[in-house]
Structure 1
Amino acid sequence: MQPAAFIFDMDGVILDSEPIHSRVKMDTFHHFGLPFDEADLIYYMGRTSNEIFGEVIAKEGRKDLSVEELVCYKHEHYLEVLQSGAIKPIEGSVALIKKLYHKGIPLALATSSWEKVMETVLDAFAIRPYFKSVISGSTLPKSKPDPAIYLLSAEKLGVSPAECMVLEDTAAGVLAAKRAGMYCIGFRSPHSGRQDLSLADTVVNHLDEIRI
């Protein structure tokens, strides 16, 4: 099918970010003396830092810590890593963005990542000019799997949700897209763990499998 618009997630879809996210989150837990099993990070993929830190602080009963304090530390540390140049795109992602753009399909970016991180990636991969809409979930009241970010993206693109195609690599992201009433391609990203993509309309193992 040819959609009226195409919406990209960012982490694990455009940016090969999960190894960096894992490292930075574990560094944050260690810095604040919070116990956390790294294997449990898979359950938070596609969700915001506020959620993971909020749940861990509550579980440990650490009333001396605030979610905002941990999120700020994590974001600054993550941004340092990104700006050091230690990032790379998912294979085929930039080519797919350019291909869709040159076909005249309006593109949007809908990511749960912090706004500064989103801006850094757009500039690092020189892909900003291809997107008609870019939204960071950190600017919205609710994150994926809430469909708000996808509904807002469709509104900014000037198309109905049913005409949009979404590319997602996490269970939370796929659920958000489907709740928005959109066609969703599930992508088995190399570092996103064993995500349940069963709600996706189709699933691919490599981005060059996507045919528009």
Structure 2
Amino acid sequence: MNFKAVIFDMDGVLIDSEPLHISVESNMLKELGVPLKQEMYTRFAGTTSLSMWKTIVEEFKLDKSPEELSAESNHRFINEFLNSDKVQLFDGVKDVLANLKKKAIPIALASSSSKEIVNAVLGKFELNQYLSAIITGSDVQHSKPHPEIFLTASQKLKIPSSFCVVVEDSPNGVKAAHLAGMCCIGFASDENHHDISHATWIIKSFREFDLEAFKAN
């Protein structure tokens, strides 16, 4: 397999942000009187905030709009993120990004998070320097598992989808990558409890990230 570009998800892949997302969303659901169920987190993992809130508003007949709730959850996340050290890069992330850039392999970020959250993360951790393309949940019409976000990344990189490999941590993300015609590296960190067994390969640490080895298989 001859990979010419790598497309990274952000939450749960580059940064350990899932606990903060869950905390923010859990607090909002409690305030709205929506019963908390573990399956919710699995069901919505990897999807856009707006897509999640549209479903919740419809299912629980809430009197607030999905747009209002999505904006509020984004605001709360960014406030916590910028004013604490709760979210960090996963170990080895910058080494992998720097190595890919050194080898002139284009890198795209394809995150379901809003443009505001993505910009906050990229700014705080100084990641823009590594990226050739950035696609956020604000830039697409369809949420994962629809492949739109990865196909858009491929188009922006000007590299056919069959030559792109995706790094994902959620079932919805893995499915979206495959639907886009891309191989997928599943990132199974200690914090990741999702079933990503359908990924082409699985790594537990970025110390295991070896694009040449993946190409050989």
What is the identity percentage for the equivalent residue pairs of Structure 1 and Structure 2? Answer: 33
Q: Which runs of 5+ in 1 are unaligned?
A: none
In structure 1, the partner of 2:171 is: 171
1:128-143 alignment runs, 5 A limit = 128-143=128-143
Q: Which amino acid aligns with 2:49?
A: S
- Whether 2:113 is the aligned partner of 1:119: answer no
Which residue of 1 is the match for residue 74 of structure 2? 75
Aligned to 1:199: 198
Superposition RMSD in Å:
1.5
Per the TM alignment, residue 39 of structure 1 is displaced from its structure 2 partner at its CA by 5.6
Deviates more, 1:46-55 or 1:87-96: 46-55
Q: TM-score, normalised by structure 2?
A: 0.91
Shift >4 Å, 4+ stretches: none
Match of residue 11 from structure 2:
11
Q: Secondary structure at the match of 2:113?
A: coil
Cα pair 1:167 1:187 within 8 Å, conserved: yes
Provide the residue aligned with 2:209 in structure 1.
Answer: 210
- SS across alignment from 2:6: strand
Match of 1:51 in 2: 51
Displacement of 1:166:
0.8
CA contact (8 A) 2:185 2:199 kept: yes
Structure 2 unaligned segments of length 5 or more: list them: 212-217
Query: Residue 186 of structure 1 aligns with which residue?
Result: 186
1:31, distance to aligned residue in structure 2 (A): 2.8
**Any idea what SS the aligned residue of 1:134 has?**
strand
State how far apart, in whole Å, the 2-side matches of 1:34 and 1:66 are: 15
1:70 offset after TM fit, Å? 1.1
One-letter code of the match for 1:152? T
- Count of matched residue pairs: 210
For residue 45 of structure 1, what is the amino acid of its counterpart?
Answer: A
Distance in 1 of aligned mates of 2:103 and 2:183: 19
